[in-house]
Amino acid sequence: MRWTPGGVSDNIEDRRGSSGGFGGGGARLGLGGLLVLGVLSLIFKTNFFSLLGVGGGGMADVSQPGMTQSRPLNDPAEQREVQFVSFVLDDAQNTWKQVLPKYGAQYRDAKLVLFRDVVQPGCGTAESATGPFYCPADQKVYIDLGFYDELKQRYGASGDFAQAYVLTHEIGHHVQNLLGLDSKVRQLQRARPDLANQLSVRLELQADCLAGVWGHSTDQRNILEAGDVEKAMTAASAIGDDRLQRMAGRGVNPDSFTHGSSADRVKWFQTGFTSGDVAACNTFGQ
């Protein structure tokens, strides 16, 4: 992507130097408790972290044995990434301020929280292995920048636009929240628990499509470079549920998907990127 390193967005909250304890809106757990949940999640093939109350959409649950340890607190090597996510955050939100009124809603800025290892969002509790996520309760996106190392080293998805896709997927969840789609889906999930996973997949695929809508605007403004779109699609494919299940040594089980297959994630990002139209992102109508 063509961008110029500069300052830090006013919409960024840097909590990388905060203490690592959990508390607040969800259950209180220390690191020992989190390790127990991690082991149980692997043994029973169930995301027990969801019991802690983290709401909103996430990129993917990428917790696996041997994950790369996060960088030291306030690592100067992260400064370029901080400036890059600042650029993407401001660019995406300025784009949605122009686009969303066409669909009957006004855009309000989300905050982006940078954290290290563990964080306390308004939805409950979370740790970095969960991956980037959006919390509708406080309208904030949360990311441990170490996720980008995982994306590149473990999943083979590198490049600025791959990183931008991750962030704008989460901004897509903020758009869903502003449109009232998120609350409708959560309500339907409670009424139809048998459809909970299927509805989660459709919500996540729609966020992929909305990330593509933003990508369309960057293409129109000629800030993309050769290979950028392919890098974003590589990232989308890398964190499809089927690929993550295979990497964890499990058989592919579509009934347990929460984010969608690699092929579907690529398809819906392409749909948004090609059309630039929010109306084309109706994943619930198919």
| pLDDT tens, residue by residue, 35-93 | 544 544 555 444 544 444 444 566 655 544 344 445 555 667 788 889 999 999 999 99
- Report the candidate in 246, 242, 245, 190 with the shortest Cα–Cα distance to residue 46: 245
pLDDT tens for each residue of 142-181: 999 888 888 788 777 777 888 899 999 999 999 999 999 9
Rounded CA gap, 1 and 83, in Å?
Answer: 13
Any idea how long the chain is?
Answer: 286
How many domains does the chain divide into? 1
pLDDT tens for each residue of 78-126: 888 899 999 999 999 999 999 999 999 999 999 999 998 888 888 877 7
Rounded CA gap, 151 and 239, in Å?
Answer: 9
Residue 3 lies in a domain: no
Residue 104 lies in a domain: yes
Long-range (24+ apart) CB contacts under 8 A made by 39-47 are 42/248, 45/250, 45/256, 47/258
Residue 246 lies in a domain: yes
Residue 255 lies in a domain: yes
Residue 2 lies in a domain: no
Residue 6 lies in a domain: no
Domain extent for 191? 12-285
Residue 279 lies in a domain: yes
Residue 188 lies in a domain: yes
- Report the candidate in 132, 114, 223 with the shortest Cα–Cα distance to residue 169: 132
Confirm if 172 and 208 have CB atoms less than 8 A apart.
yes
Q: What is the value of pTM for the model shown?
A: 0.79
